[in-house]
Amino acid sequence: MADPRLEILERRLANVRKIIAVSSGKGGVGKSVTSVVLALALRDRRFKVGLLDLDFTSPSTHVILGVRDLQPIEDYGIIPPVAGGLSYMSIVFYAFDNPAPLRGLDVSNSLIELMAITRWGELDYLIIDMPPGLGDATLDVIRLVKNISFLIVTTPSILAFETVKKLVNLLNSLKTPILGVVENMVMDDKGRIRGEVDKLGVRYLGEIAYDAGLEASMGSVEKLKGTRFYVSLERILKGLL
């Protein structure tokens, strides 16, 4: 039996110029905050930007953005609502505040279903907030989204970086493009990660300091734009464009 969803998935992304998966081997390194702020910063430069949260079992971007009372519109598929100027899609539109205990197969199916029915329209950038680890979602975007590239987030900790090495190794062996590595939550810069990233043959894009003011900005796009985190990411973005 043929799965008709795979047939349209690619077409749904046909008018998206650049697709960036924000990823890491590890959780808690700042993928979600980076995804949101990256999307907002691109939007501030007048790009048309979409944000897709693929961390189905622990979605965070809706909390960071402060999304409330929004819902996609059903129209020959579904049209993502706009949050903070971004075309925004998340499983929380369907799971709400309930736990979503999804096995890998369910994650894969949900991802395919959502991507097959979501009509992004024309976008300059689609930013995808990935779940941690090298599981179904990561393997599926690599396999199904042809022109994807990865932005990797790490912290200065050896625990995070060990998993990042594995992710780089995997992406390299699959010839999936890596934009580079962002070092987040830097407290006292020792330059260790920069050297390690160089050794991997991957671009070190810059660092984002630990920002004690970030937590108080959660849920407000305006406040997020006033954080040091935002300023740091802006600087990194300059080197990326």
Partner 1 sequence: MHEWALAEGIISKADRIAIENNLEITDIVIQIGELQQIDDEILQFALEQLRTDNMKKARFTLETIKAKLKCRACGEEWRLDLSSLDEESSEAVHFVPEMAHVYIKCPRCGSPDFEVLEGRGVWLASVRGVRKDG
Ligand X SMILES: Nc1ncnc2c1ncn2[C@@H]1O[C@H](COP(=O)(O)OP(=O)(O)O)[C@@H](O)[C@H]1O
Contact positions vs ligand X (CB under 6 A):
24, 27-33, 60, 157, 159-160, 184-185, 208, 210-211, 214-215, 229
Q: How far is the CB of 214 from partner 1 (least distance, A)?
A: 30
Q: How far is the CB of 92 from its own copies (least distance, A)?
A: 10
How far is 136 from 104, CA to CA, in rounded Å?
6
Q: Among 123, 142, 124, which Cα is nearest to 54's?
A: 142
- Rule CB under 8 A: which residues touch partner 1? 1-8, 11, 74-78, 91, 94-96, 98-103, 106-107, 109-110, 113-114, 116-117, 119, 139, 142-143, 170, 173-175
Q: Which stretch binds its own copies (CB under 8 A): 12-20, 40-48, 58-66, 221-229?
A: 58-66
Q: Which long-range contacts (CB under 8 A, 24 or more apart) does 191-197 make?
A: 192/156, 193/154, 193/156, 193/161, 196/161, 196/165
Q: How far is the CB of 47 from its own copies (least distance, A)?
A: 26
Among partner 1, Mg ion, ligand X, none, partner that 8 touches (CB below 5 to 8 angstroms by kind) = partner 1
User: Which is closer to its own copies, CB of 136 or CB of 207?
Assistant: 136
Only one residue has tokens 């990411």, namely: 233
What strand order describes the sheet that includes 16-23? 82-83, 86-90, 49-53, 123-129, 16-23, 148-154, 178-186, 204-209
